[in-house]
Structure 1
Amino acid sequence: MNAGVAFFDLDKTIIAKSSTLAFARPLYRAGLLRRRTLLRAAMAQAVYRMAGADQEKLDQLRDQLVSLTEGVRASRIRELVEETIDEVVAPLVYGEALDLMEEHRRAGREVVIVSISPEEVARPLAAHLGVGHVIATRSAVDAEGRYAGELDFYASGTAKADAIRRLAGEWSIDLDRCYAYSDSVTDLPMLEAVGYPVVVNPDKDLNKLAEERGWPVLRFARPVTLRSRLADLPRPVPIVSAAATALVVAGTIGLWIRKTRRRVARPA
């Protein structure tokens, strides 16, 4: 990890909306949300996309989600996210974010997603993006695998920065060599925890802070589908296929030679 780590916020940094609110409709279809809650989530999503969310709004959303999911099996939520991830989120990924993550990987840096979203949402999304490490909100689960109506870890504000420092200790990382990307002033502790803070599509308060501190400001505006993104990647020369074909041909010729020799050596 000598090259450092790149820590990415998820919502409005990698994807164009709130990952948690994006799953309101699938939850409604599965009978886990009422229609009134669905409409409120849709309104919240619209406001979030336009103006972002302060810590108070995020805490309200947290409390609502915790109460709504109490008693629901955690495995059911994970399955639902896996089943609908292509439909819900894949078209909302910023192409610029994918490019940036790839640049960090080529530079030898690990990529970590740090999100206020529940693990059940953040981990499948991260896997979809080829990211293996996630810091996200964890709900308490009872002995029967149902949500207990409280949180074990809330990945917001200073908690994100604390989790990053713990990970840095476990991986023996120098945080001065690390990068962090976020859109929200609520992630200021996370940005301040690393040597290279970068703001992406910042809210008004974070934009002002970035100007005052001379932090780079990036504007992402190119949502792409992962399917189209994969189709755009250059196709590798099929070395493996050619090699496999050569082996088959060589084996066939060798087998023919051995049979011919046996026929020649066989007594009349």
Structure 2
Amino acid sequence: MIRRIAFFDLDETLLAQKSMLSFWHHWTDRLVREGRTPPVLRSSGADRATLNRGYFGHFAGVPLARLEAAARQWYAEYRTQHRAYVAGALDALERHHRDGHETALVTGSGRALVQPVAEHLGIRHVLATEQLTDAAGTLTGEVRRSMIGPAKAEGVAALIRRRGVRPGDCFAYGDHSSDLPMLALVGHPVVVGEDPVLRAHGAARGWRVIGTHACPHPDNLVMPAAS
């Protein structure tokens, strides 16, 4: 059997919502309950990588273990929503698992944030933004590198080499023009949603397109345990 990896962007590709924003609401609600004033989250006026680094800067001084626990609680609540996932991408993920393909998340969200998602959906590999900690396990507010745009493509290429698979045999799913470098690396790129730049690029090359109809996670959907 040909070995393959299916790479999935997370936000608005597998999850119907933006994970970092959804988690931010959960996190700031915690701060309010503790009697603290949440910081203002910058959401525009800069490129995506700059906004990404600024987001993680708000967690400086937070123990990583606390963030991980909060992320697990957030996802336990998120996954019960009726419009939590993108139906077409979730179906594709199940199909890849059924066909014996390896699966990977490739996302600008932080690893602590998306690890519960990967475990729940049986996704083996996580390529995410890595937050840095000090020797005591406290977040510094810095990141190793934002997993956005070219960084996604480099991460995908490195995993393909490590796993000894051929790029032409692999799949990738993305919803934004910043996913183009990743999609262009594989033999089976799939456009998710209506991003005009991505749709135009994909149409010119005959890439498959799936919609963004949102759905709950079906109770009878069986995913393999992530390893």
- TM-score range with shorter-chain normalisation? 0.7 to 0.9
- Contact 1:22–1:89 (CA<8 Å) still a contact in 2? no
Alpha-carbon distance in structure 1 between the residues aligned to 2:6 and 2:80? 22
How much does 1:83 deviate? 1.6
Give the corresponding residue for 1:172: 164
Matched, 1:110 2:105: no
Closer, same or farther: CA 34–202 of 1 in aligned 2, 3 Å = farther
Contact 1:3–1:107 (CA under 8 A) maintained in structure 2:
no
The match for 2:66 is: 76
* Structure 2 equivalent of residue 64 of structure 1: 54
Q: Which residue of 2 aligns with 1:23?
A: 23
Give the match's secondary structure for 1:153: coil
Amino acid in structure 2 at the alignment position of 1:84 = W
Going from structure 1 to structure 2, the CA distance change for 1:201 and 1:34 (only over 3 Å counts) comes to farther
CA RMSD, aligned part only? 2.2
Q: Deviation at 1:222?
A: 3.1
In structure 2, what is the equivalent of residue 11 of structure 1?
11
Runs of 4+ aligned structure 1 residues displaced above 6 Å come to none
Other structure's SS at 1:72 match: coil
Unaligned runs of 5+ in 1: 45-52, 235-268
CA contact (8 A) 2:88 2:210 kept: no
Q: Give the deviation of 1:106 after TM superposition.
A: 1.9
Q: Looking at CA atoms only, which structure, 1 or 2, has the larger radius of gyration?
A: 1
Residue 57 of structure 1, CA deviation? 4.1
Q: What's 1:162 paired with? A: 154
Gaps of 5+ in 2: 223-227
Q: Deviations over 1:184-206 (max 9, x none)?
A: 00011100111111100131111
**Paired residues for 1:90-239 under 5 Å:** 90-91=80-81, 92-224=84-216, 226=217, 229-230=218-219, 232=220
Give the TM-score normalised by structure 2: 0.87
| CA displacement 1:8-36 (0-9 Å, x = unmatched) | 00000001111011011221122188446
Q: How many aligned residue pairs are there?
A: 217
- Tell whether the 8 Å contact from 2:53 to 2:143 is kept in structure 1 after alignment: no
Letter in 2 for 1:3: R
Any conservation in 2 of the 1:182–1:202 contact (CA below 8 Å)?
no
Report the identity percentage: 31
Q: How far, CA to CA, are the matches of 2:73 and 2:47 in structure 1?
A: 28
Query: Under a length normalisation based on structure 1, what TM-score does the superposition of the two structures give?
Result: 0.75
